[in-house]
Each structure stands twice: as C-alpha cells, then as structure tokens.
A and B are shown apart, each in its own frame.
Chain A
Amino acid sequence: MSASQNYSSPALEKIPITLIVNGETRTIEVLPWTVLLDLLRDHLHLTGTKKGCDHGQCGACTVIADGKRINSCMALAVMKDGASITTIEGIASDGALHPLQQAFIDHDAFQCGYCTPGQICSGVTLIQEGRARTRDEIREWMSGNICRCGAYTNIVDAIEQVLGSNQEAGR
C-alpha cells in the first residue's frame, strides 16, 4: 500500500480507489463520504446487498471484506482501498449455489427475504470462522443479523445443516 496520501480540499474531489469485488478488479473514483454500501448499490449496481437500518444495528448490509464479515454501511469506501469484497452476488460459484444458499431454500429460512443476503454472507463467514458449533453458538454468532419476519429458527436449521455436512465430509 502506498505511503501517506493527503486529499486536502473538501470540494467535490473524487479519490481513485481499487477494489476487488467478487473477484473482479474495479478501479473507481469515490467521494470521501461515500459509504461502501452505497458504492456497491448505487455505483457498482450490486443491489443484492441491502440497506436496512444504515446504522450498524441490523446486519442487512453484511459483506465479506478480506475474509471478514463487516457492516458495509459503517465503512467508508475510500478506506477500503485495496480490499477484496465479496457480496451476495459472489457467493455462488459458476452458477452453483453455495451449500448455505441451498440450505436456506431447503429450510425455508426467510419470509420477505430482505435480510437474507446479509444473513447468508454472515452465515458463510461463520462457517469459515469455525467458532460456532452448537445451536446456542450459532445464535450468538449470528446475533448481528436481525430478521424482522422472525425466521431465526429456520436460519439456525440451515446453518446447522451445512456445519453438519461439513463435519461429515471431514470424517
């Protein structure tokens, strides 16, 4: 990463940044106050990531940045220069659903679906983190994703299914 950079004027001076979004390198010019969520939705037209509360309280905007799940509404895009971002559009590979996406369908783990992209990005990372095993642990480690329809039981079922089949495969 480059050394210090100083953009002194608060005028409408756009700053060039590079992001790897779902595996594709994108060079974009952003205003300093553009939030990553708005960049994804309004500039890159990746509208799968949803704006819920816009204040880091609901998790609908969850994306994966350099392997870590974050609230994209609380991240300034300019500060993510150089990061690799995975959104819900990048979870499936070559047209095949991620096992967690299939599990959400199998368990009817949504009703209106608005929180689902964030739930799945969060759940995929939860599985990679390897910290949650029991249902209590899944609930705790998914607590950053609110579902207003209350599909929590089925969301836990879906995640549990993928964790269980991963354990089977690991034997």
Chain B
Amino acid sequence: MNRFSYMRAGSIEEAVKAASADSSARFIAGGTNLVDLMKYNVERPTRLIDITRLPLNTIEDTKSGELRLGAMTTNDEVAHDPRVQSRYPLLASAILAGASPQLRNAATTGGNLLQRTRCYYFYDTGTPCNKREPGTGCPATFGRNRIHAILGTSEHCIATHPSDMCVALAALEAIIHIAGPDGERAIPMSEFHRLPGDRPEIDTTLRPGEIITAVELPPEDFVEHHTYLKLRDRLSYAFALVSVAAALRMDAGTIVEARIALGGVAHKPWRDPAAEAMLRGHPASTERFAAVADHILRDAKGFQDNAFKIDLARRGIVRALSQAAAGTPQSQTDKRIR
C-alpha cells in the first residue's frame, strides 16, 4: 500500500472541499473495496478522507412517502431495517445475496454504488487495462473472460459492475442524492452508472469532488411480486455470473407494471424499458416471458469464455419473472431454484 495522508471529515462541506482540492484523494467509508484495491496498488490515493463520522447513517421516511437511506448506512443495516424488509423486500433480498456477513457489516450504501469491477485484468497491475490505465488496451476481450459482460460492451472494456444491491436499486428506480462543490443534485439510478464506451476509466456520472449523501427509494415498492435470482459458481459469497431483479405489479392476473434489471452482464445494472413494456397489459405466461428475455438479449455478444451467459440470462429472466408473478421470491438461504 502506498503512503497517504489521512483526514477525518467533520462535515459534508469539509469532505467536498478536501476532495475538490486534490483529484488523487479518495473518500473512504467501509473500505471493503478501496483498501483491497490499495493493497493491489490499483488505487494509490494521496489522501484518504474518512467520511464514516458524517451524519449520513440514518434511514428515514420522507413526507412524500419515499424511504431515504443515508450513504453511510451499512449493507447489513439496510437489509435488516424493518421498513426495508416490509416495503422493499427486493432490496433486502439482493443485499443478502451478496458478499458475506462480515463484509455487509462494513460496506456502506454509498460505497456499494461506487465499487469497482472485479475484472482480473483491472486488478492485475502486470497487465494492460483501459479502466486502470487508459489507452493501454483490454486483454479481457481476447483473454480469460468467463465473468465478463455480454451487453453494452465496447472494444475498450468488457468489465461488469459487480453489485447485487445496485441491480435492485435499478429495478426500484432509486434516486441518488449528491452533494458537491456546486451544491446538491439528484441522479436517477439509470443514469448513475455508465457504459464503458471509449472512457472505461469513468464508472459513474459523479463529478469531481461530489459525494453521495443518500439513496432514495420511491413509494412504489413491489411487495407482492418480486424476486432477486442470483446465478453463480458457488452458492454463497461469490459474484453473480448473471442475476435478475424482477418486480411486477399485477391486477387480477394482468401485469400492469414491470421492472427487470440484470446484474453480472454489463458495465451497469441493465434495464430495457421496451422489454418491460412488452409485459404491461398481459397475463403472466412463460411464452411472453421468453419473448421478453429474447428482446433484452437481442444484441448480446458472447466472448470465448462467457457465451454461456446469454442462455443463462435468458433462462434466468424467464425463471425470475415466473417467481415474481407467482409471488414466490427466491430464498437467499434455501438455494434451490424453484
């Protein structure tokens, strides 16, 4: 790990000011990703700004019916909050599908949004990587790429975003609240992460010096019909090869609202509004779910090791929509997929 200076921010303003003054500084909260990246010399910050003592560690109802998760709440706190469990069970389920109890006790809501890809080449400073060192190339496109993306890739980067929580936030259309040098703003979840394009080193639409202060969950909660289906190489404590967050609102057997977000397949949680529209006004049926899956995956591109993900995603989407429609969400302890 490189040497760095340390400061403990006493206020959001102070944290933003310190980050704005030094582009090589990094905010640190749970540290479960940043400390790891520093041990691999992938991240070499000049300064760490400790934001864990900022007053952003509460979960609060808003007057207009949203639930606001402070950026410093831990994954464990969010997953076990009674309001999250009763009103946003999809989010609780997705969080509990990820990482381990130890990591969830440390990792924060804001940090989960900002975690970096687990692409082998990004982590290995002995290899080129356009995300780590822009312009050096992407060995994943022709190397080992079993865990890599099948949607929204570019010739410059085929990395995936590794989060489970963010897949649920995408389906729930969460709003990300930001404070920065130019004041406060809010970013819809769908616009928070970006596709790699020709700038894969930029993961999000955050601007320099900006800090996440909260994640707001809209009143629409999909309590009855939801599931988070995570498919991976071992049954716990592994990143998703493919995951599907599905949320439906149904009226007398007819789907009136549908949200589908995929994890493990792209540089960001993958939504496809046109595919979701194919479900509205129709009864739940395997045939229609398969047509929706085909539409979502119409431009999917496999590489030598990960082409299996296309079929895995197709089956995962159909199964997740079936689970959601039936009101039988995937258990995150009994791993049998029904």
- Chain A residues within 8 Å of B, Cβ to Cβ: 1, 3-10, 15, 32-33, 35, 54-56, 59, 62, 68-71, 74-76, 78-79, 122, 125-126, 129, 134, 136-137, 139-141, 143-145
- Cβ-defined partner of A75 (8 Å) among B2, B8, B11, B31: B31
CB B108 to nearest CB in A, in angstroms, measures: 12
A122 touches B106 (CB 8 A): no
Give which listed residue, B2, B99, B101, B332, contacts A122 with CB less than 8 A.
B101
Q: Which residues of A contact B76 (CB under 8 A)?
A: 68
Q: How many A-B residue pairs have CB under 8 A?
A: 106
Question: Is there an interface contact between A6 and B7, defined as CB atoms closer than 8 Å?
Answer: yes
**Are A74 and B32 closer than 8 Å at their CB atoms?**
yes
Q: Which residues of B come within 8 Å of A, CB atoms?
A: 1-11, 14, 28, 30-32, 35-36, 38-39, 46-48, 50, 52-53, 76, 99-103, 105-106, 236-237, 332-335
B100 touches A143 (CB 8 A): yes
* Complex CA–CA separation, A140 to B31 (angstroms): 23
Known: A1-B53, A9-B5, A10-B4. A69 touches B102 (CB 8 A): yes
B residues in contact with A139, CB < 8 Å: 236
Q: Do B236 and A143 touch (CB < 8 A)? A: yes
Given the known interface contacts A79-B50, A140-B236, the answer about A71 and B5 at a Cβ–Cβ threshold of 8 Å is no
Q: What residues of A have a CB within 8 angstroms of the CB of B10 in the complex?
A: 3-5
Partner of B4, one of A32, A79, A122: A32
Closest 7 CB pairs of A and B: A144-B100, A4-B10, A143-B236, A32-B6, A68-B105, A3-B10, A143-B237
A69 touches B105 (CB 8 A): yes
**CB < 8 Å: which of B32, B39, B53, B334 contacts A71?**
B32
Tell me the minimal C-beta distance from A116 to chain B in angstroms. Answer: 16
Chain B residue numbers with a CB within 8 Å of A55 are 36, 39
Q: Which residues of A contact B11 (CB under 8 A)?
A: 4
Report yes or no: B36 in contact with A74, Cβ–Cβ below 8 A: yes
User: Is there an interface contact between A70 and B106, defined as CB atoms closer than 8 Å?
Assistant: yes
Contact A35 B35, CB 8 Å, known A68-B76, A126-B101? yes
Measured in the bound complex, the distance between the Cα atoms of B39 and A129 in whole Å is 31
Q: Is the CB of A69 within 8 A of B48?
A: no
With A76-B31, A79-B31, A139-B236 as given contacts, are A7 and B5 in contact (CB-CB < 8 Å)?
yes
Chain A residue nearest to B36 (CB atoms) is A55
What are 16 A-B contacts with C-beta separation under 8 Å?
Answer: A4-B8, A4-B10, A4-B14, A5-B8, A6-B7, A6-B8, A7-B6, A10-B4, A54-B39, A59-B100, A71-B103, A74-B35, A75-B106, A78-B50, A136-B333, A141-B101
CB contacts (< 8 Å) of B5 on chain A: these are: 7-10, 32
- CB neighbours (8 Å) of A75 from chain B are 31, 35, 106
In the bound complex, do residue B101 and residue A69 qualify as a contact, i.e. CB atoms below 8 Å apart? yes
Contact indicator A33/B4 (Cβ below 8 Å): yes
Is the CB–CB distance between A4 and B9 below 8 Å?
yes
Smallest Cβ distance from A56 to chain B, in angstroms? 6
Q: Nearest chain-B residue to A54 (Cβ)?
A: B39
16 more A-B residue pairs beyond the given contacts A4-B8, A69-B102, A74-B30, with a C-beta to C-beta distance below 8 A: A3-B10, A5-B7, A15-B6, A32-B5, A33-B1, A35-B35, A54-B39, A56-B102, A68-B76, A70-B106, A76-B6, A79-B52, A134-B333, A140-B333, A141-B101, A145-B100
**Which A residues are CB-close (under 8 A) to B332?**
140
Question: How far does the Cβ of A34 sit from chain B's closest Cβ, in whole Å?
Answer: 9
Pick the residue among B3, B38, B101 that contacts A144 (CB under 8 A).
B101
Bound together, the chains give a CA A62 to CA B106 distance in angstroms of 12
Are B6 and A122 touching (Cβ within 8 A)? no
User: A144 to B9, Cβ gap below 8 A?
Assistant: no
Given A1-B53, A76-B31, A137-B333, do A144 and B7 touch, yes or no (CB 8 Å)? no
User: B48 — which chain A residues lie within 8 A by C-beta?
Assistant: 32, 76
Contact B6 A144 (CB under 8 A): no
With A and B bound together, what is the CA distance between A11 and B3 in angstroms?
8
How far, in angstroms, from A62 to B237 measured CA to CA in the complex? 15
Contact B14 A56 (CB under 8 A): no
User: Judging by beta carbons under 8 Å apart, are A122 and B102 in contact?
Assistant: yes
When chains A and B are docked, how far (Å) is the Cα of A76 from the Cα of B28? Answer: 10
Contact B103 A144 (CB under 8 A): yes
Minimum CB–CB distance from A13 to chain B (whole Å) comes to: 8
Which A residues are CB-close (under 8 A) to B237?
A: 143-144
* Docked complex Cα distance between A15 and B133 (Å): 33
Q: How far is the CB of A134 from chain B (nearest CB, A)?
A: 8
